[in-house]
Structure 1
Amino acid sequence: MKIALLGTGFGQAHAAVYAARRGEVEVVMFGRNPDKTAEAAGKFGFASSTDMDQAFEGDFDLVDICLPLPLHAEYVLRALDADKHALVELPLAGAMDDARRVVEAAERSGRQVFVDMFERFIPANRALFDAVRDGTYGRLEQLTLSNRTAHLWPGVSLGLGTLPLEAMHSDMDIVTRTLGRPHSVDVTTVARDADSAAIEATLSFDGAFARDSVSSLMPMSWGARGGYTATFSDGVLEAVSSMGFDGKPSGTLTACTGEAVRELDLPPADQYAAMIDHVLACLRGEADNEIAPATVLDALQLTLDIDHRINGNT
């Protein structure tokens, strides 16, 4: 399978997964700066190019788009026009009109589009989705999520201008997949400077509420920590995770029911590897697409609504 990987920033996270699947995939990494692109591609033994047009004109099966947000929808549409499958980093688009255009184009094309909703492949999150679907612990009444991090990625701004789409979007996907769209949303913020801030959102539903807290105010020794507490009518699921400089998360999942408390076994998983393995399986016809554009619209709308409240974006 031939893959055109666009982007040398976060694209390197995808590149590391592809490199571990050498023999199954052939990758060319595309970027704007010749030296930076060649250096990044060389780390993984890939060819490199600065001719972005070749990603759409060449004989690639999949275009993997890890470019800045304003280019996401545009480049997915270019891939579909070129009769290629597309994988795009989240969020799918910075505006709902663009997101819907992608959904409509994908449905017309017969090609598959995947959005990197990596959090859907985290075992603790899958356990939550299953519990809600199966009613394992009764009805979900309260969901509290947190995502607090230090500045682990040099040069990346995590201020109020970026936190909603960069950090809250995945949490809003968990919220909408478990509770649906909220009736109301209240948002509180604090900013240390242009690149460091915290946001807390409280979301109301019929007979339930959710709270999401994201922050980039933490010291380097903190790393990144997060998780959720899901309170059901007949029990509680609590997930705790942490991540250091190696980017590999560790975590626990605990179920409390009646008088019993037990830690649930979680299979080892790298969510980015699991996401890409899912994409490859779908393209081989071995799985159904769980991260198609139509499945992310509710979470994207909610995230954009929060972003508009904070930053006034449309």
Structure 2
Amino acid sequence: MRIALLGTGFGQAHAAVYAAREDVEVVIFGRDPDKTATVAGQFGFASSTALEQAFDDDFDLVDICLPLPLHAPMTLRALEAGKHVLVELPLAGTMEDARRVVETAERNDRQVFVDMFERFIPANRALFDAVQDGTYGRLEQLTLWNLTAPLWPGASLGLKALPLEAMHSDMDIITRTLGQPQTIEIAVVARDQDHASIEATFGFDGAFARDSVSALMPMPWGARGGYTATFTNGVLDATSTMGFDGKPTGTLTAYTPDGTRELELPPADQYTAMIDHVLACLRGEQANEIGPATVLDALRLTLDIDRRING
């Protein structure tokens, strides 16, 4: 399978996954010739600065890891060129653009995948299953937290960036487990334009959720996150450490009236699992779990938070 990987920043996380496979051929596209060649060389891939070739040549999949304003336009361009698309989250910067992608994909025989990598984190899948199956009763309280140091040089994690760049995945977890909130309260701290923290509380009928996202941590802290999900008959508590390589470590513990139990998590990292899923879908082996229509609820909530913070 031939893949055009657009972007030399976060695209490196995808490139590392592709490099471990023997069933793909990848060309990395970027604007800066030297940087593009250097990044591609690290993974043994070809490189190009001729972006139009990603849409004209015989690539099967266009993997878009470009800045947010380019997500929807490049996805639409790839669809028009007859390519399958994997696009980094969030799908778009506006609901109008997101719906345009959904409508175009529905009229097209090409598949679109949004990198909702958090859906492939084993602890999160356990939470989704517990809510769907009623394993511990009804979900009453959900607390999510993601605290990180500035692990990605040059990347801003200030108030302008945090909602769409860092909170979107948590909003997907909230909307998938509790739906759209009835009330939202937000508190923020901004150290400077590149380092900030957001605390958001969401009210539902008979439940509430809280999400803490911070980029104020010192470098030795790394990146850590997790959740505590309180049900009527038990608690699921997850903690994880994660980094740019996309290979987290984590634990998941269930607390019930019968006692405490450590739940075994499969040895999978989210980026590898996500790309495995994309390629399996393109081979006709699985149904698409991360199509654009599935992300609209989370995007709507994320954009609402962004408007409340940034106007």
TM-score above 0.5, yes or no: yes
Q: Which runs of 4+ in 1 moved over 6 A?
A: none
CA contact (8 A) 2:152 2:244 kept: no
Aligned to 2:275: 276
Gaps of 5+ in 1: none
Alignment of 1:126-145 (within 5 A): 126-145=125-144
Alignment of 1:17-36 (within 5 A): 17-22=17-22, 24-36=23-35
How far the C-alpha of 1:247 sits from its partner, in A, is: 4.8
The residue identity in structure 1 corresponding to 2:279 is: L
Q: How many residues align?
A: 311
The residue identity in structure 1 corresponding to 2:134 is: G
The residue identity in structure 1 corresponding to 2:112 is: V
Aligned to 1:5: 5
Identity %: 79
Aligned to 2:92: 93
CA contact (8 A) 1:143 1:210 kept: yes
Aligned to 1:207: 206
Question: SS of the counterpart of 1:158?
Answer: coil
Could you say if the C-alpha distance between residues 54 and 213 of structure 1 is closer, same or farther in structure 2, counting changes exceeding 3 Å?
Answer: same
Aligned to 1:108: 107
For the residues of structure 1 that align with 2:261 and 2:166, how far apart are their CA atoms? 30
For the residues of structure 2 that align with 1:67 and 1:291, how far apart are their CA atoms? 19
How far the C-alpha of 1:244 sits from its partner, in A, is: 5.2
How far the C-alpha of 1:243 sits from its partner, in A, is: 2.7
Could you say if the C-alpha distance between residues 266 and 199 of structure 1 is closer, same or farther in structure 2, counting changes exceeding 3 Å?
Answer: same
Superposed CA deviations along residues 260-307 of structure 1, whole A, max 9, x for unmatched, are: 101000011110010000000000000000000000000000000000
Superposed CA deviations along residues 185-233 of structure 1, whole A, max 9, x for unmatched, are: 1111011111111000000111100000000111111111110000000
TM-score normalised according to structure 1 size: 0.98
For the residues of structure 1 that align with 2:230 and 2:198, how far apart are their CA atoms? 22
Gaps of 5+ in 2: none
State whether structure 2 residue 265 is matched by structure 1 residue 234. no
Question: SS of the counterpart of 1:67?
Answer: coil
TM-score normalised according to structure 2 size: 0.99
Could you say if the C-alpha distance between residues 170 and 244 of structure 1 is closer, same or farther in structure 2, counting changes exceeding 3 Å?
Answer: closer
CA contact (8 A) 1:141 1:207 kept: yes
CA contact (8 A) 1:223 1:245 kept: no
For the residues of structure 2 that align with 1:113 and 1:248, how far apart are their CA atoms? 24
State whether structure 2 residue 208 is matched by structure 1 residue 192. no
State whether structure 2 residue 163 is matched by structure 1 residue 164. yes
Aligned to 1:307: 306
For the residues of structure 2 that align with 1:114 and 1:248, how far apart are their CA atoms? 21
Aligned CA-pair RMSD: 0.9
